[in-house]
């Protein structure tokens, strides 16, 4: 099984107002098709770690590999390209553009990547909406669909460039249990059927317990 993401000896310091060692010697791997969750108390460094793993924060010590390529120290334009092509994001808030249709929202990252013609991007976006059973909402304004549907649109958008890994920061944090289960089942089927890797920060024990592996964090370290 290939390794999609690997962190080696990641250390992170906040320097203001005083020096604070927020992440301490973090090392772990996510394999292809693996569905892993990160758990830990608020303030233990989960979201800080996710920002580093997603290449958004480059101010850290240690090495980060994506698809076996060392990406630490690479220029920002290249990281921005890598992030758009290989990493899909799902946050607690869906961050959809309310004036755009569902379909237009899903197409955005692919238009930014600019590797395909518009017709092809639209066809891909419809495919993703079909996988998530929301293709009937394609031409609705994003502001007109329900909370659970919005999160599914956000997942479709995260999938549009066929990423190597999906990263989520509390993606069920705003949802009721029915919609949380929905999101879990979508993630699970993506991992099983499409061999997609997932790394999800969550507070939800039920959600985490159903994933392949829980990475528990405490006080800036991995506990197990």
Residue 24 lies in a domain: no
The answer to whether residue 187 is domain-embedded is: yes
The verdict on residue 203 lying in a domain is yes
Q: What is the pLDDT of residue 94?
A: 66
Contact 159, 84 (CB under 8 A): no
**69-70 sheet: strands from edge to edge:** 20-31, 3-14, 61-66, 69-70
Residue 69 lies in a domain: no
Structural domains in the chain (count): 1
Asked if the structure places residue 183 within a domain, the reply is: yes
- Domain span at residue 150? 35-47+74-222
Beta-bridge mates of residue 38: 201, 215
Domain of 136, CATH number, reads: 3.40.50.300
Who's near 221: CB < 8 A, 6+ residues apart?
24, 25, 26
Residue 147 belongs to a domain: yes
Q: Does residue 43 form part of some domain?
A: yes
Task: Say if CB 93 and CB 174 are below 8 A apart.
Answer: yes
Phi, psi (degrees; rounded to nearest 5) at 63: -125, 140
Q: What residues have CB less than 8 Å from 218, skipping those under 6 apart?
A: 40, 41, 44
Residue 87's φ and ψ, nearest 5 degrees, are -125, 125
Looking at the domain assignment, is residue 63 inside a domain? no
What pLDDT score does 224 carry?
65
Q: Give me the pLDDT at residue 133, please.
A: 86
pLDDT value at residue 64: 95
Q: Can you give the pTM of this predicted structure?
A: 0.88
State the pairing for strand pair 87-91/165-169. parallel
Measured in whole angstroms, how far is the alpha carbon of residue 2 from the centre of its chain?
19
pLDDT attached to residue 71: 93
- Give the closest residue to 10 by CA, choosing from 46, 53, 47, 70: 53
* Amino acid 52: pLDDT: 93
pLDDT < 50: residue spans in the chain: none
d(CA 12, CA 45): 10
pLDDT of residue 199: 95
């Amino acid at each position: 099984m290939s390794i999609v993401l690997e962190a080696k000896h990641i250390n992170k310091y906040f320097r203001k107002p005083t020096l604070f060692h927020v992440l301490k010697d973090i090392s772990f791997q996510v394999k292809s098709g693996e569905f892993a969750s990160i758990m830990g108390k608020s303030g233990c460094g989960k979201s800080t770690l996710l920002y580093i793993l997603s290449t958004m924060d480059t101010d850290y010590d240690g090495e980060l590999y994506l698809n076996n390529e060392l990406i630490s120290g690479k220029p920002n334009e290249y990281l921005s390209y890598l992030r758009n092509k290989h990493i899909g994001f799902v946050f607690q808030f869906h961050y959809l553009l309310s004036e755009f249709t569902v379909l237009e929202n899903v197409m955005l990252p692919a238009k930014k990547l600019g590797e395909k013609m518009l017709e092809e991007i639209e066809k891909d976006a419809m495919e993703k909406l079909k996988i998530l059973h929301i293709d009937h909402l394609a031409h609705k304004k994003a502001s007109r669909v329900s909370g659970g549907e919005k999160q599914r649109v956000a997942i479709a958008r995260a999938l549009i460039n066929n990423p190597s890994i999906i990263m989520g920061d509390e993606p069920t944090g705003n949802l009721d249990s029915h919609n949380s289960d929905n999101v879990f089942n979508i993630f699970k089927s993506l991992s099983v059927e499409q061999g997609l890797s997932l790394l999800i920060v969550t507070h939800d024990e039920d959600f985490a317990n159903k994933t392949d592996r829980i990475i528990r964090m405490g006080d800036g370290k991995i506990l197990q």
